[in-house]
Structure 1
């Protein structure tokens, strides 16, 4: 056999034997070996199990402890897919451009250290007739002598990332911490969603409230769930864990969980655990007079707006919400006026940052709102005070034997705000405020905070109806009336004497 025939046969064998390919040809950087940083990838038992599980499933999500080499594992798996079959496309998505470049760098390390199978296009050996690779900052491509190119493209987090590509493998690295995770998933998943092909691997440590957490904990979404505990690394023993725990304290369960339950139990926990359907959702608007407010959080990345009605007893209900991206102030004003048509809005409450003047026009965004027909009222920028106000409004209290919140949700009318309040976590360093990450969860709570931090007022009490003196014939009518008729007569004349 010629060298080319031997190489082709080896690649054919590797295509169906992933563990063999990784352990024979792939390498990693081992920071514990400064004398020889690049080491052959000798798989641990849990890494082998994970690879075998990934190969059998199209949709995979991996919840893992820190520093277990799984980014290297997934890159190695991707290198096999690109090299052992021509014309393959792999897309890697990371939090930042620097992290996306790091994925490409690791892919280049894999190919650099398998000279038996592939050569660097910049340094091709004499007589070489096999595949060659070429690396750029955000892309690595393989040129085959007898087939279409394979390519690895890396992207940082952005709403439209990877939208225009058709991929064979989609990799989400540190998925829980990617901004625009929902938008990226919506645009990227169709790139691999073909009836007979395409695969996705999402891996991350946990971040509560993230899309990653939703996908991992959803039992019905068809994902293959893989959990990798801290002890997957055979070098980590009980003594290592105890020393780490002394250093990290309770944070160890987030970074180095032993079980799925530990991974999902983040120190601090939910900021609004009191928000529940039975105490915070109502099926109808309050009776009597209502004073209506609108609160907003505006940025070009997201506009969040909520309509709140306060009754005569200073109880409030959120009865409408509007969320949208990439809206100009003019478009926002049009939406607010249209949705508020026929309602008297007491105030439009907004955060103080909208009053900062722009350098070019000298106008604030609040001025642009005013020119669009919406006069905003500036609220406080005191974050802890706003969070405390939200807790006070949302605190369940007992009234007439029933436990209810002073601030309720009209059923189905503010689903995104309700979801965000249930998922948002305490700030790890300041437990008296909610966390600002994941950022996707903060827009709607920030809007509500404008209402809760401001001095709002209850609606004016309805005038009491004067009781009418019952005559004998009125009493006779009441006596002979049906239950519905009696209710009508009491409403009209008051209770009979």
Structure 2
């Protein structure tokens, strides 16, 4: 698997504004390479995840997403192969990170092939603080992405419970202490800590339109 180039941002900065023909050709080739990498990122979630850096919730250390963990690939493949996926898990397995980064990936690349695709992701957690925390995960990873990814589909709305990209990608979080999302049809929905949600049955009922429209439920 190809590795992201650590020096690419430095190269762009060094070449910006140059009039040297050789450097201009290098800049042109670098831009072309990014086009190719964007296609790879769009087609392959785990290629894209090479550019993602998570933050440890305990010690705040920044870490590259572990794309080499085979079980994460297997979980992702299960989500791809099934409309509904139930995961019984302990903490620190990165499943929540995977669920949220799947949504960010689809939101960023929605609409980039002609502007006709729209992705609407949703996540429900036990309370507003927990729901905000899940959106915050996307926010932190997104802002650490290379500029050449972010510039192709800029983030235009970023608040505590809702994110929207320029070309058709959206992710919304819901606090479900009393009730969940109603009458929304999601492309993919992450039902976080379902066993702890008081309104789990109501949330499930609210997801019927999603399932009817062949949206995915994790």
Give the TM interval when normalised to the shorter protein: 0.7 to 0.9
Equivalent residue for 1:42?
Answer: 66
Q: Which of 67, 71, 78 does residue 53 from structure 1 map onto?
A: 78
- 1:40-61 CA-to-partner distances (Å, cap 9, x unmatched) read 1013221222112222222111
Q: Distance in 1 between matches of 2:121 and 2:31?
A: 25
Task: State the TM-score, normalizing by the size of structure 1.
Answer: 0.34
Kindly report structure 1 stretches of 4+ aligned residues shifted beyond 3 Å: 1-9, 31-34, 116-119
- Provide structure 2 residue ranges, at least 5 long, that are not aligned to the other structure: 1-27, 112-117
Over 3 Å counting, the alpha-carbon distance change for 1:188 and 1:159 in structure 2 is farther
Over 3 Å counting, the alpha-carbon distance change for 1:7 and 1:159 in structure 2 is farther
In proportion to residue count, which structure has more strand? 1
Equivalent residue for 2:147?
Answer: 116
Q: Distance in 1 between matches of 2:148 and 2:187?
A: 21
SS in structure 1 of the partner of residue 103 of structure 2: helix
- Provide structure 1 residue ranges, at least 5 long, that are not aligned to the other structure: 120-127, 202-497
Equivalent residue for 2:48?
Answer: 21
Largest Rg, 1 or 2: 1
- 1:231-250 CA-to-partner distances (Å, cap 9, x unmatched) read xxxxxxxxxxxxxxxxxxxx
Superposition map of 1:248-267 within 5 A? none
Whether contact under 8 Å (1:163, 1:191) holds in the other structure is no
Higher relative contact order (CA 8 A, sep 6+): 2
Whether contact under 8 Å (1:15, 1:84) holds in the other structure is yes
Equivalent residue for 1:104?
Answer: 135
Equivalent residue for 1:131?
Answer: 153
Equivalent residue for 1:177?
Answer: 196
How far did 1:4 drift? 6.7
Q: Distance in 1 between matches of 2:148 and 2:119?
A: 17
In proportion to residue count, which structure has more helix? 2
Whether contact under 8 Å (1:89, 1:169) holds in the other structure is yes
How far did 1:159 drift? 5.5
RMSD: 2.3
Q: Distance in 1 between matches of 2:191 and 2:126?
A: 9
Superposition map of 1:69-84 within 5 A? 69-84=94-109
- 1:381-425 CA-to-partner distances (Å, cap 9, x unmatched) read xxxxxxxxxxxxxxxxxxxxxxxxxxxxxxxxxxxxxxxxxxxxx
Equivalent residue for 2:6?
Answer: none
